[in-house]
Amino acid sequence: MSDTPRSAVDKALDLVEAVARAPHPARLTDLAGEVGLHRATAYRILLDLVRRGWVLRAGDRYLPGTAVLRMSSAAAGNSLTALARPVLRDLSGRTGMMANLQVLETDRARVVDVVRPDRLAMISHLRDELLPAHRFAGPLALVAALEPAARAAYLRPAEADGHPLDGEDGLLADIARIERTGFAVERGRTDKLVASISRVVVPTPGAPVCALTLVGPDAEFEAAGPDRLCGQLRDAAEELGRILTAPREGTP
């Protein structure tokens, strides 16, 4: 590293670049050592980078965030979408439903990858779209997994649309149900013929990495049985969590 004093921007970019070029999701200690920062300093900067979408945190490891992925294909091999793609394919194949991957951004969730069976081509995949929590299961599951103090920004789109926060049909009641069950279910709110169910991957409590969501015709959700779909979705979320946080071969 150069002896020239580095600005806060230099340090942040050094960490973004270190995360992007790592051959596997890297740990804080490894990143701090690589860029020549004290561990506590690197941690504080990474918190801001996670908040802004430049880095994703999965347990004690870090990988490129959606902001990086939209700017550079070089990180694709170690991206969340690359690591999650086999899980999405398997989940869609076992259920016959469309499966998507979502992550939180400033006040909504973005759909970053989708596996859609040909037979469901009539249902929009919403890839790369930003979805509000009061209309879709994925962002709702992600917001419910946040610490209460971190939810405010994601509640504002609902207030702006006139969607109630309080009461039996309010967004806060929806969040409370998801906290109890672990699943967000949306049937007919955006499209009366389409249903969805979502579960988060959350290695660290209060810090969801992403959400896996199943989408399909409402009638098929009923026929398939919510309990069976929940079980398959739970298994997929747990598998992705293991992929994101398990040590790779040859790493300490």
User: What's the pLDDT tens digit per position in 47-56?
Assistant: 999 988 899 9
- CA-nearest of 156, 155, 219, 146 to 178 is 146
DSSP-derived letter for residue 5 is: P
User: Phi and psi for 4 in degrees, rounded to 5?
Assistant: -65, 130
From first to last of its 252 residues, the chain has per-residue pLDDT tens of 455 678 989 999 999 999 988 988 999 999 999 999 999 999 999 999 998 889 999 988 999 988 876 666 555 556 888 899 999 999 999 999 999 999 999 899 999 999 999 999 999 999 999 999 999 999 999 999 999 999 999 999 999 999 999 998 899 999 999 999 999 999 877 778 999 999 999 887 778 999 999 999 999 988 888 789 999 999 999 999 999 887 765 544
Computed on alpha carbons and rounded to an integer, the radius of gyration of the chain in Å comes to: 19
